[in-house]
Structure 1
């Protein structure tokens, strides 16, 4: 069997072959169109949210700044996978060289971890907003806000960088990746030698991040529920305010966890076909980024009003020109 090395020179580049979906003859253009529509929904929804937040100074508040970071994370995950997947559906091209493969896997894993760390920071922000409303602006200053967001990204990038550092100089005994996109596990499955350190680190990292974020979110919402019950006697609208503030964040977190659990469960059952596993993996990249802007746009009154206002202004400009 062909023996390759991750540290191969540029004269002998490593080229992987992604054999994910079994595309039926003649169905490539249809799958390309569906993937294109999904990608356009992701780009349009997240693009509108980030443009509105940047343009409307009234939305330059911690919660909406964090939504911007969440939007960037969504775009990172979708852009790492969908354009290449569309090329595969349209042209049948399955090859991917070493550096693009590592870059794709790095971005996909960063998306998965950064989504959780950013949601953890957002839970902390919601806890301060509901439980310490009078001290909110003194606690969540601009410096602390940007520090928290930077920390969320740094944790994700550092953890994934360490994960992919285990790939260096690992000999490979194949080049066929049984997946629709590259990931840490799919590449290391080609290793000629066992990779116990990478396996242990990957499992430990996933467990630590998921558990840590869950603890932060659970603690925040327990305190938020406790505070809202205590305040309802003096302010009957406190439950409504807490719901409007926290519901989008909680729905996004639950949606992400459901998508993650579906993938984990499908990988643990050999009876599940490869096409179904790959389909769930793609949904993990598409569903959260596509639904997150809708969730925040529907529940957040300020964001919804700003989007409608911007849309009405653009319509009036078009009508005026005509």
Structure 2
């Protein structure tokens, strides 16, 4: 265990996983393969959307934000965790710690807002197909994307800016990566305002995301029940299942992680593992899920591979 009495300084210490020495390198290589796989898949998805003209549509312009967000989240977390497993240094400068925490929270809020924007796009496409082109104009799509990132950035910036008003007097973080609650525990003084604003920001993000997605999917479900065209039903279901799978898994894992810190009988190692999974689920599953369930992306990928094979 880390010593709480460590002298305060420019570096903070992280409480990494307790791993037998012989297991460090196997875990490192497995983690590295997962990271490289996620980076490759998300860069491939980004490249397809950029280079293939048939994907230059509102749905895919909004989807473009998802692999960007995933790359930011997994890159901010996993390389540092893997490095600490091998080197056993378990230290990071306070400035980089704050930057890592900021990116990780930006990633978490980004998932909620991006999936909400995507569900709204699918609602308009499925429930108002004849008006889709007139509603989802390039300007509207640009505004949706800007609002998605802008609101996320404002809320996270507000959350972190409040920490600067309190003096820092500790140097030990009992987690494998930096996040806002851990950084707040390094501060001395009354943190009530920070906790209230943190709860407010989380509530706003969840309320906006859940309400938009609930509205969109209920409307889509009603449309699927009412419509008589089996092909339209199948297309609607395939389109929505992908997003529902991702958001349900993410919400279950993140909710468990948040609640686990409220109970003392939950293993700290389990808390750490679930915390890491939050930043692995979306980058790992999104390219696979959208590749399998989005026929246009799947067919585009197959055409690209066939063209490469015959070059």
* Shorter-normalised TM range: over 0.9
**2:15 and 2:94 mapped to 1: Cα distance?**
16
264, 271, 277: which one aligns with 1:277 = 271
- Structure 2 residue matching 1:27: 3-state secondary structure: helix
120, 127, 134: which one aligns with 1:124 = 120
Return the offset for 1:225.
Answer: 1.7
Contact 2:250 2:282 in 1 (8 A): yes
- Structure 2 residue matching 1:171: 3-state secondary structure: coil
In the alignment, structure 1 residue 77 sits paired with structure 2 residue 66: no
Contact 1:177 1:186 in 2 (8 A): yes
Provide the aligned length of Structure 1 versus Structure 2. Answer: 307
Q: Which residue of 1 aligns with 2:310?
A: 316
Return the offset for 1:28.
Answer: 2.1
Contact 1:52 1:310 in 2 (8 A): no
In the alignment, structure 1 residue 180 sits paired with structure 2 residue 176: yes
5+ residue gaps, structure 1, are 5-12, 318-322
Contact 1:3 1:171 in 2 (8 A): no
- Structure 1 residue matching 2:21: 3-state secondary structure: coil
**1:100 and 1:309 mapped to 2: Cα distance?**
42
In the alignment, structure 1 residue 191 sits paired with structure 2 residue 187: yes
- Structure 1 residue matching 2:13: 3-state secondary structure: strand
Contact 1:20 1:179 in 2 (8 A): yes
5+ residue gaps, structure 2, are none
**2:281 and 2:38 mapped to 1: Cα distance?**
9
Return the offset for 1:2.
Answer: 7.4
Q: Which residue of 2 aligns with 1:8?
A: none
Q: Which residue of 2 aligns with 1:159?
A: 155
Query: Greater CA deviation, 218-227 or 144-153?
Result: 218-227
Return the offset for 1:100.
Answer: 0.6
- Structure 1 residue matching 2:230: 3-state secondary structure: coil
Query: Greater CA deviation, 168-177 or 137-146?
Result: 168-177
Contact 2:16 2:84 in 1 (8 A): no
**2:6 and 2:53 mapped to 1: Cα distance?**
58
Q: Which residue of 2 aligns with 1:64?
A: 60
Q: Which residue of 2 aligns with 1:88?
A: 84
Return the offset for 1:3.
Answer: 8.1
Return the offset for 1:123.
Answer: 1.2
Q: Which residue of 1 aligns with 2:31?
A: 35
* Distance change >3 Å, CA 219–CA 93, structure 1 → 2: same
TM-score (norm: length of structure 1): 0.91
Structure 1 runs (4+) greater than 3 angstroms displaced? 1-4
Return the offset for 1:20.
Answer: 2.4
Contact 1:3 1:172 in 2 (8 A): no
TM-score (norm: length of structure 2): 0.94
* Distance change >3 Å, CA 90–CA 316, structure 1 → 2: farther
Q: Deviations over 1:206-241 (max 9, x none)?
A: 122112211111111111122232322xx3322112
Q: CA RMSD in A?
A: 1.6
Q: Which residue of 2 aligns with 1:264?
A: 258
Contact 2:16 2:85 in 1 (8 A): no
